[in-house]
Each structure stands twice: as structure tokens, then as C-alpha cells.
Amino acid sequence: MKTADTGDLWWKSAVFYCLDVETFRDTDGNGAGDFAGLTDSIDYLADLGVNCVWLMPFYPSPDRDDGYDIIDFYGVDRHLGDHGDAAEFIRTARSRGIRVIVDLVVNHTSDRHPWFQQAKRSRTSRFRDYYIWRDDRPPNSENKVFPGEEESVWEWERRTQQYYQHTFYRHQPDLNLGNPAVRDEIAKIMAFWLTLGVAGFRIDAVPFLLSHPGSPDATGDPHEFVRDVKRFARRRSSECLLMGEVNLPHKQQVAFFGADTDELDAQFDFTTMQATFLSFVRQDARPLRRALRSRPAMEEPVGWVNFLRNHDELTLDQLSAKERDEVFAAYAPDPEQRAYGRGILRRLAPILDGDPRRLRLAYSLLFSLPGAPMLFYGEELGMGENPEIPGRGAMRSPMQWTPGRNGGFSSARPSQLRSPVTTGGYGPEHVNARTSAQDSESLFHFVRTLAYRHRSTPEIGWGELEVIDTDAPGVLVHLLSSPFGAFLAEHNLADEPATVTVELPEQLRGRTVIDLLGPEQFTLDESARLTLELPAYGFRWLRAVEDDGPLPSGI
């Protein structure tokens, strides 16, 4: 493993927390969350152990795609506050050791963006080439992102008598990234938010960004655009993180890191996430083992971001049709719980039937996987989806702070809320932050412990991975080794107890082993062999260090 300046690679050991300003906390009673509410919530986030907040789009928008249809990349939606409020949140978060990254959504704009409004008035508009136009609809133009909602990726514009391209919704015309003027605009957008204090960007849907005719050079290398973005980001900020949404198999993701890490710094691991749910359904660790072993060995200091749920459907597109049907049958038996033939519109707690054992197992696994964990707001409480909200919005209901009206999210009348609060068994009277904080046995406190242990165990973010075979098909054992020490995690995905014997590398002989989630401490004998008994859905976190080596904080 190469060493690097960890000051510039802070994200290698980060705990990410994704939230939507609009649904997190409302302070002015207008029914929408706001930046002032976010600032008021800093203590909560810091106590949870989060050290990087990823903000979903908060820019001015018609809100036809939950804010991803943007009309001003430099603005703040008036319902959420203003630039002063945003800057105050970023500054306050930084003072508590929490960095902030924001969504960079440059695949497209809203069709109400001033650029597109000008572009569609005349073929001679200076903004015309900001977008992609054709006289005739190209063949093979079906929409593969939102099948059933959009038939084509080309939409007829009557005034200028041409088709414009939209990879996503028709109200989101694709930007022409091959146009130097567009790329200059993107650089200015990044510079603006970096100057305001953000620590990086989550880049939306990167493969689509580079695969359409408006990529920087349709006959050359479209990755040059990402390299250009990386060079600009590094010039402006040595700490700037470029984290990409790349839902591809591991082998194909390598290209998006680039040679000598000259593209993305980190990518979400969709392959491992999907294999995790297949392993959960089968109570068999083998799909997960295969996924982890398929991660390419990377010499450069790039990283993976692990997640179980996010703001979109739980996508299963990398599984075979048979495997996908297995997961659907177990976790989304109602067709209304499915989306686009590939995903599940549910949060994790309802998927796992609210079973505390399985939830703790899932989060223990998430925080122990090599890389950085990402939580979606409310996961730490066991929040459920709101099936009354159509589509992906079901996962984006308001944060539940108290058992009171609107879950303490807002003082507005329920009818005024931009998004309704979840009701039923996962409603705020049963699931909320106040009650969870007061209960030392709650999921919140468990996730909090995992966050602190993850941040104080550098092997998880920096170590070299070895997946260890066992005789128990339901048990995953993985070892992460680094100059700091060695971290061993064992997870029993089955509903029956298991006993496994693990052969560890010889260099760990004689080392002190600390149970990071319990009181046990012992010394490895000369065989460097461990026999572990795991209850149903049980797990262990063990760290082997030299007798005079560093220990995690709190031990």
C-alpha cells in the first residue's frame, strides 16, 4: 500500500451522512427544511460521529425531480434560506470537525434554466450549443433510465424545430460537455462553492455524463472531462474530494479512477451493496465474498464509499434476473414497492422487518467494510419509507426528531409540508431522535459506537483486504492489514449460530487482540489461529496491534 499525505485524503477514514436540506429540519414554519435548521442540528450530527455531510441539491428548482432539475447552480432555493444561511452552516460544521460536500449535477439543467430558455428561442442563440440538438431523432433512442416514464431520450422542440437530448426526464435537457463554454461554466460553479467552504463534490451519474454525444470529444476520450475537473479542483483546493456515482461492475469502475488517480477520488460500491442484499436473502456470504474479491487492487490512494440505502431506489441492476427476483420476493413482495424493474422503494429497517439483530448486523457490516461508510439521514434511527409518496420520494420523507406533530420536523400544518411525514409503525411516535438518544440500547447508540470505532481504526479505510474462507457458508470473515495494525471482522448472516476457525497471517503471532465492541482482550498464540463462536446474526470486531501500538480512542 502506498502512503500519502493523509491531510489531503481525509475521506479515506470519513463517516459520510447524506441529507436533503428540504426534509431535515424546518425552523421558520414554512413546511420545508432549511439551512438554519441544519445549523441547529450540528450537535446531533457531531454526537453521532459524522465527519462529512453530503447535501443533496438545495439549488433553485421547479422541484420536478426532487431538486435535481436545477435552474441556478449558484443559488439557494428561497424556501431553504439564502447564501448567508448556507455559509453559516458550512462554517459551523467545520468548527465541529464536519466537512460539507455538495452535489455537482452537470448532466443536465432544468428546462426552465435561463440557458435553455435562451437556447430554445433561436438556433443562433449563444446558448444553443450549451445543449445537444438533432434534426432527426437518432435510432435506438429508448430511455433506459426511467423505462415506463420516458419513452425516448429525445424531445421535439417546436419553436426551433429540432430534437434536444435528455438522458433522464424530458424536463432535464442534457448539457453539451463538449462545448468549452459549458466546461468553463462548470469550473466557475465549482470555484464558487469551494470559495464558500465546501470540501468537495458528489458527481451525479458519472457514466451517463461521459457516454452521450455531448461528451468532451465524441470521437476521442470522454474521460478527459473528468481529468479536467480533477485538475481544476486540485488547483483550487488540495482537500477537494471528487466522489462519483458510478453504478458499474468493479472492473469497469477502474477507468473512472483514472491512471495515477487523475479522475475520481472515491466511488460508491454498487457491486458490493447489491451482493450484500443477495447474501442477506440467502443467508449465504458467498455472493458478498465474490463481490469483495472482485474489487480491483488499486496502487493509488483512491477509495470506496460503502452504503446500504440511499436517496434512490435500492437498485439491483447488477444482479441476474433470477437473483433479482429472489431479492424482490423477500424484500419487495408488493409490486408497488418496486421501481423500473430493477429497484426497491423501501428503507432498510422495513426491508429487514425491523429486526434489531439483523439491523445491527447490517450496520456492523457496513462500517467494517474496507472504505468509508455512508449513512442516509434517519437510518441511524431505523426510519421507514413513506409509501404515500410516489416513486423515489418514498425514501425522502421528513426527518423524525420527536414523537410530536410532524415528528418535530416543522411547526407548519401537516397539509403545508413539502413532503408528508411517515405514518404507521415507523412513524415518529415510534421512531424518533429524542427517544433514541435517551435509550442507551437504541439503534442510534449502536450506530454511534460504530462511527467512533470506524474513525479510530485506520485499517478500515487504509488497509489491504483479505477475504478469508470458512467452513460456514453464512459467515463472512475479512481482514484489513496496514502499518497501523490489523482489523478482523466476522459476520454471521445466518439465523443459526456458527463456529469458525480462522488462520491469520504469521506476522500477527504474539500480538494483542482487542475486541472493539466488547471488553475482551487477549494475545494471539504461536499458531495465530482463532476459533470464534457467533450467535445467529452475530458479529465481532477485533483489532490486533503491537503491545506498544496505538489503540482506538475510548479503549
Active site (catalytic) residues: 204, 245
List residues bridging with 480 in a β-sheet: 465, 487
The letter for the amino acid at 33 is: G
Tell which residue, 329, 243, 318, 245, has the closest CA to residue 287.
318
What is the spatial distance between Cα 167 and Cα 152, in angstroms, rounded to a whole number?
A: 8
**H/E run at residue 55:** strand 52-55
- Quick one: cell of 93? 460544521
Question: What secondary structure does DSSP assign to 343-369, as a single string?
Answer: EE---HHHHTTT-HHHHHHHHHHHHHS
C-beta of residue 281 within 8 angstroms of C-beta of residue 331:
yes
Question: What secondary structure does DSSP assign to 514-533, as a single string?
Answer: EETTSS-EEE--TT-EEEEE
The letter for the amino acid at 20 is: D
For residue 266, CA distances in Å to 290, 457, 467 come to: 21, 19, 21
What is the spatial distance between Cα 518 and Cα 533, in angstroms, rounded to a whole number?
A: 14
For residue 478, CA distances in Å to 301, 486, 488, 506 come to: 20, 11, 6, 16
What is the spatial distance between Cα 538 and Cα 345, in angstroms, rounded to a whole number?
A: 27
- Quick one: cell of 71? 435552474
- Quick one: cell of 551? 489503540
Q: State phi, psi for 542 to the nearest 5 degrees.
A: -125, 140
C-beta of residue 523 within 8 angstroms of C-beta of residue 510:
yes
C-beta of residue 422 within 8 angstroms of C-beta of residue 391:
no
List residues bridging with 465 in a β-sheet: 480
Q: Grid cell 439483523 — which residue?
A: 358
What is the spatial distance between Cα 49 and Cα 47, in angstroms, rounded to a whole number?
A: 5
The bridge status of strand 512-515 relative to strand 521-523 is: antiparallel
* Dihedral in degrees, nearest 10, Cα atoms 107, 108, 114, 116: 120
Q: State phi, psi for 273 to the nearest 5 degrees.
A: -60, -50
What's the longest Cα–Cα distance across the chain?
80
Q: Grid cell 435517551 — which residue?
A: 438
The bridge status of strand 133-134 relative to strand 266-268 is: unpaired
What is the spatial distance between Cα 414 and Cα 343, in angstroms, rounded to a whole number?
A: 29
What is the spatial distance between Cα 443 and Cα 426, in angstroms, rounded to a whole number?
A: 14
C-beta of residue 254 within 8 angstroms of C-beta of residue 296:
yes
Q: Grid cell 424545430 — which residue?
A: 161
